[in-house]
Amino acid sequence: MASPEYVADTANGDRIGIVRQRYEGSVYLCPPGGGTEWATAPEALRHLSPEELVRVRVFETPVGRWR
């Protein structure tokens, strides 16, 4: 299984997303941890900084249940 491709969407306030699909000139993204998918132009995307990538991984880490 390939690692998710994380990017920031500069057209939407640097919103961070996971690339789900590239189709007909648009890129479809989903927020880390799930949520509503959105589309943007490929030229609006940028790679995440190392600090942003760490923050994303924290959001995606499941929290265990207390017993």
Label residue 27 exposed, middle or buried (CB < 10 Å: 0-12, 13-18, 19+): buried
Q: What pLDDT is stored for residue 30 in this prediction?
A: 96
AA identity, residue 33:
G
Q: What pLDDT is stored for residue 4 in this prediction?
A: 85
Q: Could you read off the pLDDT of 33-45 as tens digits, one per residue?
A: 889 999 999 999 9
Determine the Cα–Cα distance for residues 47 and 6; give it in Å rounded to an integer: 7
The count of structural domains within the chain is 1
Range of the domain at 45: 6-59
Q: Could you read off the pLDDT of 17-67 as tens digits, one per residue?
A: 999 999 999 999 999 888 999 999 999 999 999 999 998 888 777 777 666
Is 21 within the bounds of a domain? yes
Both tokens assigned to 53: 């990538």
Is 64 within the bounds of a domain? no
pLDDT at 12 over 60: yes
- Please tell me which residue, 61 or 11, carries the higher pLDDT value: 11
Determine the Cα–Cα distance for residues 67 and 60; give it in Å rounded to an integer: 22
Is 67 within the bounds of a domain? no
